[in-house]
């Protein structure tokens, strides 16, 4: 197995560990006396719906919204595709229908919510006094702000009629079971998809403070909505959430462990750097380069594994994403150091501004880039990682994986026993 194939195998193992057909069945609740309603949102939600249907042998109805291209055919549950990361009318209409379905449930009924990363944009039902254009403008601003995901979701919850516990509150007094695939550092259910079934500890005041730090140019409708007490979210302990159970069924750490087990099987020692790393992507790449260079003292091969959600502060106008930005920072700091290979990919198959999961770097990356007229510092200045790796033929393209446990990074230090020659 070559270093390239080894790293790709680790990524595939990480994705496989979080696939809905593997993680959904064990967490299904008992059927209710009354009706069963399935709702959901996120990049994995359609695949989650299919896995549920395959193992639920009782009557059900349902509606799930997923990203364009991430749909999976179901027999009974209706699947709608909508835009992500900036919401569109299809997502708004789906969210409105989901809220109406939940509101019609009674005390003997059950609502199973299937929530995964991407649900924040896909469940885009504006709060009273707002319209879709308001939500789109704020969402676009947040995406380019480099704000932490917790801050982004605090704002989203307080501009929404369905997130921040409101979906579960609408279903009261029905029983609600929410099955979640986590794509957020720390696996906080209230942060996954902006927590549509989770009491929200943040406040309107918090949301206002976050936006005050990020911009001075807010539409008047947004300012008014964040001043309106009616837009405060349900809090933890609210009686309307008493019948709700939230379960994280897949998380980044589970996927990192699957990759670590495969590494050991191939004689490579895994070193876990954490499943919730945040910060500027290129800076994390540079920091992990320092760690990788220190590990070269080992005679046996090791692999540094990490996950989480970094940010990218946009300086240029290229096509990039968190994972390729991380790899650019890593490659620049390694400066062609021998026997170090690395892969960084988003487990949903989409890294930032391209339908590309991520990429791989090798000891020859900088030399090959130079021969193509691609100085890495210029590429970093333009945030153009996807163009860089496309020219080098080092992209990882999977298509939609139908799951999402955020970013996966693996840095291999050393050579494998049965190494095959690298194609330059």
Q: Which residues are within 8 A (CB) of 173 and not within 5 positions of it... i.e. 6 or more apart?
A: 106, 107, 243
* Judgement on whether residues 314 and 206 belong to the same structural domain of the protein: no
pLDDT tens by residue, 3-32: 999 999 999 999 999 999 999 999 999 999
Whether residues 76 and 179 fall in one domain: yes
My answer on whether 87 and 134 are in the same domain is: yes
pLDDT band at 188 (very low <50, low <70, confident <90, very high): very high
Asked if residue 319 has pLDDT above 80, the reply is yes
Assigned domain for 285 exists: yes
Structural domain contains residue 317: yes
Question: H or E element: which one contains 330?
Answer: helix 322-334
Q: pLDDT grade, residue 368 (50/70/90)?
A: very high
Answer yes or no: is pLDDT of 417 > 80.
Answer: no
| 3-state SS assignment for residue 65 | strand
| Burial category of 212 from C-beta neighbours within 10 Å (exposed 0-12, middle 13-18, buried 19 and up) | exposed
More confident: 177 or 140: 177
The verdict on 66 and 174 lying in the same domain is yes
Whole-model pTM: value is 0.93
Which band of pLDDT confidence, cut at 50, 70 and 90, is reported for residue 412?
Answer: very high
Residues 108 and 257 in one domain: no
Do 46 and 96 share a domain, yes or no? yes
Confirm whether 188 is domain-assigned.
yes
Residue 206 lies in a domain: yes
Mean pLDDT of 282-309: 95
Tens-place pLDDT, residues 205-225 = 999 999 999 987 888 999 999
| Residues 6 or more apart whose Cβ sits within 8 Å of residue 287 | none
Q: What is the mean pLDDT of residues 371-395?
A: 97
Q: Mean pLDDT throughout 129-155?
A: 88
Residue that is last in its domain, among 188, 223, 250: 250
Q: Give me the domain span that covers residue 266.
A: 3-13+253-413
Using pLDDT thresholds of 50, 70 and 90, give the confidence band for residue 421: very low
Q: What is the mean pLDDT of the chain?
A: 95
Q: What is the average pLDDT across 285-305?
A: 94
Res. 419: pLDDT tops 60: no
The number of distinct structural domains making up the chain is 2
Q: Is residue 420 part of a domain?
A: no
């Amino acid at each position: 197995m070559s270093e390239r194939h080894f790293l790709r195998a680790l990524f595939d193992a990480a994705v496989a560990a979080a696939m809905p057909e593997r993680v959904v069945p064990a967490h299904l609740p008992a059927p209710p006396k009354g009706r069963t309603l399935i709702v959901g949102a996120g990049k994995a939600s359609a695949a989650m719906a299919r896995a549920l249907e395959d193992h639920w042998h009782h009557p059900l109805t349902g509606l799930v919204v997923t990203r364009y291209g991430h749909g999976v055919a179901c027999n009974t549950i209706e699947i709608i595709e909508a835009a992500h990361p900036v919401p569109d009318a299809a997502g708004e209409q789906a969210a409105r229908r989901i809220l109406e379905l939940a509101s019609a449930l009674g005390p003997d009924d059950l609502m199973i919510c299937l929530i995964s990363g991407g649900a924040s944009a896909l469940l885009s039902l504006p709060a009273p006094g707002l319209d879709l254009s308001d939500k789109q403008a704020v969402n676009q601003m947040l995406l380019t702000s480099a704000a932490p995901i917790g801050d982004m979701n605090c704002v989203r919850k307080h501009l929404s009629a369905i997130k921040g516990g409101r979906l579960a509150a609408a279903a009261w007094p029905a029983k609600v079971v929410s099955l979640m695939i986590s794509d957020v550092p720390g696996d906080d259910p209230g942060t996954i998809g902006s927590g549509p079934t989770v009491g929200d500890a943040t406040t309107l005041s918090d949301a206002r403070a976050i936006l005050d730090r990020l911009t001075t140019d807010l539409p008047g409708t947004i300012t008014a909505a964040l001043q309106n007490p009616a837009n405060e979210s349900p809090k933890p302990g609210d009686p309307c959430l008493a019948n709700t159970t939230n379960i994280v069924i897949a998380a980044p750490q589970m996927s990192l462990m699957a990759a670590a087990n495969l590494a050991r099987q191939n004689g490579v020692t895994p070193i876990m750097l954490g499943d919730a790393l945040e910060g500027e992507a290129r800076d994390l790449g540079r920091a992990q380069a320092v760690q990788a260079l220190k590990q070269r003292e080992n005679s046996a091969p090791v692999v540094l594994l990490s996950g989480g959600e970094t940010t990218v502060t946009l300086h240029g106008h290229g096509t990039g994403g968190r994972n390729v930005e991380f790899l650019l920072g890593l490659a620049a700091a390694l400066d062609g150091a021998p026997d170090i290979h690395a892969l960084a990919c988003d487990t949903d198959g989409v890294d930032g501004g391209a339908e590309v999961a991520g990429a791989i770097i090798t000891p020859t990356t900088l030399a090959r880039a130079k021969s193509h007229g691609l100085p890495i510092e210029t590429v970093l200045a333009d945030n153009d990682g996807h163009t860089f790796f496309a020219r080098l033929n080092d992209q990882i393209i999977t298509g939609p994986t139908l799951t999402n446990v955020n970013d996966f990074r693996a840095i291999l230090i050393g050579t494998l026993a049965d190494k095959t020659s690298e194609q330059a």
